[in-house]
Amino acid sequence: MALEWQRDGTYALLYRLAGDDAEPLEAVFADRADVYDYDVIDGGDGQLFAFVHVGERETLSELLAIAERYAPLLDPPFRYTDRGVRVAVAGTEAAL
């Protein structure tokens, strides 16, 4: 997964997935209110690529703002739990 934080607070995501049937994935994206736009491309050899534009999540934006300020490496995926967001972080001692 690759993530780009947009100026308006939304996110552009790129996913690489195993599979060759895009329809179930497109149905999930089409059903979500927080997905503004998407495109699923068959990459061949059992791979799908999904480009997805999604709405802002405040917790993730706060985490990304910290990352921009202190330059640690955030290692996706970002997992949402009932207690918040879980992410692996790497960086210099000063950055952490």
pLDDT greater than 80 at residue 70 = no
Work out the average pLDDT over 61-77.
Answer: 78
* pTM of the predicted structure, to 2 decimals: 0.69
Looking at the domain assignment, is residue 92 inside a domain?
no
Looking at the domain assignment, is residue 63 inside a domain?
no
Looking at the domain assignment, is residue 93 inside a domain?
no
28 φψ region: left (φ > 0), alpha (ψ -120 to 50), beta (else) = alpha
Report the share of the chain in percent with pLDDT over 70: 98
Looking at the domain assignment, is residue 64 inside a domain?
no
Domain that holds residue 47: 2-56
Name the DSSP letter for residue 29: H
Q: How many domains does the chain have?
A: 1
Looking at the domain assignment, is residue 29 inside a domain?
yes
pLDDT tens column, 34-44: 999 999 999 99
Taken as a whole, the chain contains a residue count of 96
